A and B are shown apart, each in its own frame.
Chain A
């Protein structure tokens, strides 16, 4: 059995670690609350915008627009796919980062062609630089506190690359928060836009099909609407990923605080036993020493 001093130093180190995990738990829980609030604020814009685009597409179903072109002419093997990967800036968040990189790896294996990664967050960037994947070097954004400005920069870059035919498809892989306990990495296609994902499954018979005029023209309207929509989507994804990251960290930190508590309990029992044993031994020594003296 280890001696009392060794156990005591272990207890001390566990206590120190517990202080850190406990503090991280509290920080991430407050960050998550903020992120959730931001997410709620942006939701009405997001859903109504989606509905508006759906309505436009319903009224002009045979629209030809570069953002909707699937580029069938590009063969599967030569398709260039851009992937925005949203990871965290640091670890200590359970399987959060691992789940994202796993999904990304699977996605890259599954789809033929050439992949270009736009990685957000330090953890993912380091992971893919080590794997020597094609990572866009100028794409250096943090994932802390997502802002509209950052989302706009990202979507401008993506739209430019798509229109210049540097990319034929753009996906975003981020973590979606189903509820407080369940978080899932998801892969969403940003470009080209799928018409089907906007329009409802079926239009009720007799729904009014009014004439809608577009000013200055349908192309100009879609040209401003769609980058705006993408910025909104990216912003939503960033906010959701940020909330999930903090939620994951919160859960991870809570469970480590719990196990630290359990360890402390075990260690203090061990420590008391060791102390008791030391005392017993000392008493035995004293008594046997005294007896030996008396017999003389």
Chain B
């Protein structure tokens, strides 16, 4: 139990995980960031991508996350994302369609605002597909 920390993962519609964890890897702007027990106090912004954590029994879990943030304070991590989806919850065909739609939209002329929205949609769809690849 020495090398674990408290982890709570909140999605907007459910509590995805609450318990002890050995490690946590989150996607950030310039790659990934890993947390182990007794990490310094930090708050990190998360970009859409693949989230990995290892619980106290050593089970490795993968999930697709959207925008959010994680706070690591006093060896307790709290992660907030609008959506946290396990591979088995993801509808592959829907994600594929979303990806194609976003790519199609990105080819059109559009405002900066729309461009960013579609880029985010594309990132979400691609993460979902990547996470489900190993199913």
Contacts and interface: CB of A to CB of B under 8 A. Distances in A.
Interface of A: 38, 41-42, 44-45, 48-49, 52, 55-56, 148, 152, 156, 160, 210-216, 220-221, 223-225, 227-228, 231-232, 235
Given A44-B15, A228-B82, A212 B10 contact: no
Q: Is the interface of A mostly helix, strand, loop or mixed?
A: helix
9 contacts: A148-B82, A152-B82, A213-B40, A214-B43, A214-B44, A215-B45, A216-B45, A225-B80, A228-B68
B126 interface: no
A48 B80 contact: yes
B94 to A, nearest CB: 12
Interface residues of B, number: 30
A223 B71 contact: no
Interface string B50-79: 000000000000000001110101100010
The 10 closest A-B pairs by CB, nearest first: A45-B10, A224-B45, A213-B42, A215-B44, A212-B41, A221-B45, A45-B12, A41-B13, A220-B45, A214-B43
A228 B8 CA distance: 17
Nearest to B67: A224
Contacts of A213: 40-43
A3 B22 CA distance: 84
Nearest to B41: A212
Contacts of A235: 12
A156 B117 CA distance: 9
Interface in B69-121: 69, 71, 73-74, 78, 80, 82-83, 113, 117
Nearest to A160: B113
B24 interface: no
B25 interface: no
A45 B79 CA distance: 10
B12 A148 contact: yes
A166 to B, nearest CB: 12
